[in-house]
Chain A
Amino acid sequence: ELKVEQNPLFLSMQEGKNYTIYCNYSTTSDRLYWYRQDPGKSLESLFVLLSNGAVKQEGRLMASLDTKARLSTLHITAAVHDLSATYFCAVDKGTASKLTFGTGTRLQVTL
């Protein structure tokens, strides 16, 4: 059974600081996704990572994938309040498969 774990579960950080969220998964996977969820809202797609060593960046967020370690990271650079949300990673194993979500990391950026 595929298990996906994130840490930390909760992260409080000051504006301007850097931090990393970690996503570990238990079996081999074809794709790794990162999503953002605001309170009471649905999911917003951030990144799709397809291969070992893949790195993608959008604004203050950068995601990477190490398939050998079964680890993905979401790095936040110089956090701003607008980044406060819950971030989920998710993995799937191909077109006939389904997404398995991580536990989620609730990020709170304080002024």
Chain B
Amino acid sequence: GAVVSQHPSRVICKSGTSVKIECRSLDFQATTMFWYRQFPKKSLMLMATSNEGSKATYEQGVEKDKFLINHASLTLSTLTVTSAHPEDSSFYICSARSGELRYTFGSGTRLTVV
């Protein structure tokens, strides 16, 4: 079945630094990937839709300069949290459409900013 690999699974960084999260589709090509953020005991909130070879589409209220998304190939999308602050601490999950009816999710990244 379709597999989406997300790395790292956990990361701790200092305030003011940047962190990059990778999302790879291992056995299929993903022209579109999605990035979600999840706070404890809350639902998934879509941050942006990543399109291969073009600019990402950000949801309302998401700062595009803070959450940089790059989708340079059909199997890789990256999310970079720039100048991280403690309020950016969260669980980030990527997803790819792996078929007409199916979305496959990465294993998630727990980001802690200290």
| Chain A interface (Cβ < 8 Å from any Cβ of B) | 31, 33, 40-43, 45, 48, 50, 88, 95, 98-104, 106
Q: Which residue of B lies closest to A106 (CB)?
A: B41
- Given known pairs A95-B100, A99-B95, the reply for A42 and B42 (CB within 8 Å) is no
Q: What interface size band does chain B fall in?
A: 20 to 34
- Given known pairs A42-B93, A42-B108, the reply for A99 and B101 (CB within 8 Å) is no
Establish whether residues A88 and B101, one from each chain, have CB atoms under 8 Å apart when the complex forms.
no
Establish whether residues B102 and A104, one from each chain, have CB atoms under 8 Å apart when the complex forms.
no
Q: Which residue of B lies closest to A50 (CB)?
A: B101
| Chain B interface (Cβ < 8 Å from any Cβ of A) | 6, 34, 41-46, 49, 93, 95, 97, 100-108, 110
Total of A-B residue pairs, C-beta within 8 Å: 40
A-B contact list, 10 entries, CB within 8 Å: A42-B105, A42-B108, A43-B44, A43-B93, A45-B102, A45-B103, A95-B97, A98-B49, A101-B45, A104-B43
Establish whether residues B43 and A48, one from each chain, have CB atoms under 8 Å apart when the complex forms.
no
